[in-house]
Chains A and B, each alone.
Chain A
Amino acid sequence: QQQVKQSPQSLIVQKGGISIINCAYENTAFDYFPWYQQFPGKGPALLIAIRPDVSEKKEGRFTISFNKSAKQFSLHIMDSQPGDSATYFCAAGIQGAQKLVFGQGTRLTINP
């Protein structure tokens, strides 16, 4: 119930392409869905987050799509760049509780 399932585990995309990472959850009490970007040896950095009152949120080249009925959300990176190569984690949280439940992570490689 508390799990967040993330796919794929790894992804290789050509420069300029679209990277898509998907997450699914079971617990309908989750109401906050952030995405974190992590470079080797660094801590996760908040990239973008969404709440279930909207179906999409866009910040620059990064877009979260949210499907409440399917209990799924995804990260789209448009015009992917080599500097986007990192591990991406989706997470879910419940307002009023503090912990975030993380997905397994996706290692994204953008080939030049």
Chain B
Amino acid sequence: EPEVTQTPSHQVTQMGQEVILRCVPISNHLYFYWYRQILGQKVEFLVSFYNNEISEKSEIFDDQFSVERPDGSNFTLKIRSTKLEDSAMYFCASSLIRENEQFFGPGTRLTVL
């Protein structure tokens, strides 16, 4: 069964450093998403991406965040200057069409020290 994969599974970084989280969406999917989940809290939408551009973003997704699809398979989330409050589990998701059936990856746990 096709699945969304994410690397690394755990990333530890120092405050102020840049991090790049990587995702490989399901191969024939066209819509890509990033969500985050702070420990013990609900899953929160960050951004959606379609046709090589951001289609929707939340207020959390400020100028410190960027997304990119550098090739035909990868989808990345970059945080330019990490803050302590960026510590969370980051989930990538993808969907075939815009009708909301999103499939999530296993997540990357980001720890900012």
Contacts and interface: CB of A to CB of B under 8 A. Distances in A.
B43 A102 contact: yes
Contact of A93 (B42, B44, B58, B100): B100
Contact of B56 (A36, A89, A99, A104): A99
Contacts of B102: 34, 46, 100
B104 interface: yes
Interface in A66-112: 89, 91, 93, 95-105
Nearest to A43: B104
Contact of B33 (A45, A98, A101, A104): A98
Contacts of A101: 45
A89 B42 contact: yes
A16 interface: no
Nearest to B89: A43
Contacts of A91: 43
Contacts of B58: 99
A57 to B, nearest CB: 14
A99 B100 CA distance: 8
Given A42-B106, A98-B55, A34 B42 contact: no
A49 interface: yes
A44 interface: yes
Contacts of B101: 34, 46, 49
Contacts of A105: 42
A62 interface: no
Nearest to A42: B106
Given A103-B42, A104-B42, A98 B31 contact: yes
Contacts of A34: 100-102
Nearest to B49: A98
12 contacts: A42-B106, A42-B107, A43-B107, A44-B104, A46-B101, A95-B99, A98-B33, A98-B50, A98-B56, A101-B45, A102-B43, A104-B42
The 6 closest A-B pairs by CB, nearest first: A98-B48, A43-B104, A99-B45, A93-B100, A102-B43, A32-B100
